[in-house]
Amino acid sequence: MIQKALGFGFLFVIVPLCIGLLWNDSWKEEKNAVARIYLSGFLTQFAVFQLIAVPVMILLPRGMNDLVLLVSAVLILLSAAGIAVYFWRNKKRKALQSALREGILKIRKQLDGMSWGMRLYWLIAFAMIGFQMYMSYDRAMFDGDDSYYVVQSVLADQTGVLNRIRPYTGLSTALDVRHAFASLPLWEAYVARMTGIHAAIVAHTLLPLVLIPLTYLCYYLIGEKLFGQEHTGKLPFFMILVGVLQIWGNTSIYTNATFFLMRTRQGKSVMANLVLLALLWLLWEIMERYDQRKYGLFCLLVMTNIAAAMMTSMGAFLAAMFTGIAGFIAALRLKCPSLLVQLCVCCIPNVIYLGLLVVMG
Amino acid sequence: MAQIVSVFRQYCGSGFYPLIFIAALIWLLVTEKRKIVRIVLVDASLVILILFFLPPFKALMDVLDEGTYYRILWLLPMTVVIAYAGVRIFEKNRAAGCVVLLVLILSGDYVYDNINVTKAQNRYHIPNAVIAICNEIMPAEDEERVWAVFPEELIYYVRQYSSEIQMPYGREMLEPQWVWNWDTHPIYKVMREDTIDLDALAPLLNEYYCHYLILNRGIPVKGDFEENHLTLLTQIEAYDVYRNESVEIFKKAE
């Protein structure tokens, strides 16, 4: 139980919040900086894992132990760096403790300023998210692909072998580059190792409880961009509509909503929902401040692109395509061609990844 | 072009969300004034939608990854655009906003009514029967991994629980669309029959070194278990677990 709590706290609380502090300079003037810090820390965690997992799986077929050690060491280092950078940047302003106190005061102030109608809207929105989390825990969502992806996690966790065993049978096999380079199943095995929870429980029960609220956090941040933070009821109504579109979005097996709630644990789902939403929000942030030279945001875009490659072999292509299209339109509309160049530079990891797939696949 | 329309129709399925999205997009195209909103939500969506319906783009995507063209539609921020348009309506008229909410509910499909959603029996989200069978046939610490043949309804789950249990064939036998290997394993050819022929199955179990055979009690069996060296170990829910005495379980090398 202690290992579960410590592992969970480390991976899902401490690491995202501390690593996210590396990007804090980009949102220090924003009201909900903690949400942004957490999301950016989580995306960076994904990217770091992908950057380590791919070479380790190529070089060390039985390298799960090495992968766990390396990833943990790098995450600890980056977390420490995040804290150090935060204090270094804020030495003349405020310490972390006072920032947190200020954040709590802000939330209390916002709550005090809300009308009862608006509180009701928020309550409904939160109830809908809670309902989806409860159902992901209480209901088993069968999907045939789990016998590939979840088994890859179980194999890495139980045998220590990285993608060299056929999930369906147990026979040995060569590295299937197309599937293996999308390393989310290995990350799930890493979560299993760190928490001491069976990889199947991690995939089916634990991750939806993390990924569903995290995806709604993206929707919240996008909603905030659309409606601001005034107490008009627009933002909570937006969140209610988003919830409805997810819960009633199972109109075919292909929709984002179907993947979101029925295949939450799979890379395709994380790509179609969390990563693409994060990309949308991040591009928005970049375009809003394109004249302010916020290089941290571009670094975070690189991290998000690497995280996209971690989810599915198509992820790198889809992320680059979306970035390219939005960047091209922004360059025209904002009359800023250099923005397109900067965004294209952020897609270099995607090109490298796709090149690796072609060469090694 | 017909293929692209077919992909779009399949994506829409039984609902109208993509059509509501297109309507919302057109409305925002006319009414949205904020530059960034237009770039990120409206213009980008429009370009992606146009690209999606271009046959040369489909041809290019098929070269990259055939059969996944629908994923281009994932790039459309449908949820955000529909919800944003809904809020804009709600902003003008609260009753109309509630009508939008109702239309979205009625034109959608409740995800938890899906046939693949069932009450979870445990935190693994794997049937209890699979866990009990796996625990029953799990090799001891000093033994090598075992091989077992399962009825097809259990195949998806077995190795999600334990890597210690191996199977001569897995999901690849069960997917008719995977023509390259579907229905090719000799054991599966016997197992999928309406009546399982033990005299045909037993030699194959020996040939593939299968230590265990799990049968669904509801499927008739032809032949004698004893003559084929199959001993009933236990019965778990609807399943009989047999040990194939002809195949030895090896100890791990020191």
pLDDT in tens, A102-122: 777 777 777 777 788 888 999
Burial A313-330 (b: 16+ CB within 10 A, else e): bbbbbbbbbbbbbbbbbb
Of B14, B43, B79, the CB nearest to A251: B14
Chain A: closest CA distance from residue B44 (Å): 5
DSSP for A275-319 reads IHHHHHHHHHHHHHTTTTT-HHHHHHHHHHHHHHHHH-TTHHHHH
Span A160-208, pLDDT tens digits: 999 999 999 999 988 888 888 899 999 999 999 999 999 999 999 999 9
Flag whether residue B154 sits within 8 Å of chain A, measured between CB atoms. Answer: no
Report residue A359's pLDDT band, with 50, 70 and 90 as the boundaries. confident
Q: Do B116 and A142 touch (CB under 8 A)?
A: yes
Residue B2 has pLDDT above 90, yes or no: no
Which pLDDT does position A34 carry in this prediction?
85
Of B37, B87, B114, the CB nearest to A238: B87
Flag whether residue B129 sits within 8 Å of chain A, measured between CB atoms. Answer: no
Task: Tell me the CA distances in angstroms from B209 to A3, A14, A145, B153, one per residue in order.
Answer: 39, 48, 27, 22
Span B47-89, pLDDT tens digits: 999 999 999 999 988 888 778 899 999 999 999 999 999 999 8
Of A219, A237, A251, the CB nearest to B15: A251
Q: Do A140 and B100 touch (CB under 8 A)?
A: no
Residue A95 has pLDDT above 60, yes or no: no
Round to whole Å and give the CA distance between B184 and B26: 51
Round to whole Å and give the CA distance between A306 and A50: 7
Q: Which of A64, A260, A273 is nearest to A152 (CA)?
A: A64
Chain B: closest CA distance from residue A7 (Å): 18
DSSP type of residue B38: I
Q: Do A244 and B104 touch (CB under 8 A)?
A: yes
Q: What is the mean pLDDT of residues A219-232?
A: 85
**Is A350:A309 a contact under the CB 8 Å cutoff?**
yes
**Bridge pairing between strands B196-197 and B221-222:** parallel
Domains of chain A by residue range? 2-360
Report the residue of A241, A318, A350, A357 to disrupt the B interface, i.e. the one with the largest count of B CBs within 10 Å.
A241
| One-letter amino acid of A293 | R
Burial B121-157 (b: 16+ CB within 10 A, else e): eebbbbbebbbebbeebebeeeebbbbbbbbeebbbb
- β-partners of residue B118 are A140
- pTM comes to 0.93
Report residue B163's pLDDT band, with 50, 70 and 90 as the boundaries. very high
Q: Do A254 and B17 touch (CB under 8 A)?
A: no
Which pLDDT does position A250 carry in this prediction?
92
Which pLDDT does position B66 carry in this prediction?
78
Chain A contacts of B71, Cβ < 8 Å? Answer: 268, 272, 314, 318
Positive or negative, the Cα torsion across A151, A155, A161, A165?
Answer: negative
Q: Do B118 and A140 touch (CB under 8 A)?
A: yes
Q: What is the mean pLDDT of residues A329-333?
A: 93
**Is A150:A156 a contact under the CB 8 Å cutoff?**
no
User: What ipTM did this prediction achieve?
Assistant: 0.92
User: B88 by DSSP, 3-state: which?
Assistant: helix
Chain B: closest CA distance from residue A331 (Å): 10
Report residue A223's pLDDT band, with 50, 70 and 90 as the boundaries. very high
Which pLDDT does position B146 carry in this prediction?
95
Q: What is the mean pLDDT of residues B139-166?
A: 94
Which pLDDT does position A231 carry in this prediction?
63
Chain B contacts of A200, Cβ < 8 Å? Answer: 124-126, 160-161
Round to whole Å and give the CA distance between A27 and A86: 12
Residue of A nearest to B114 (CA): A250
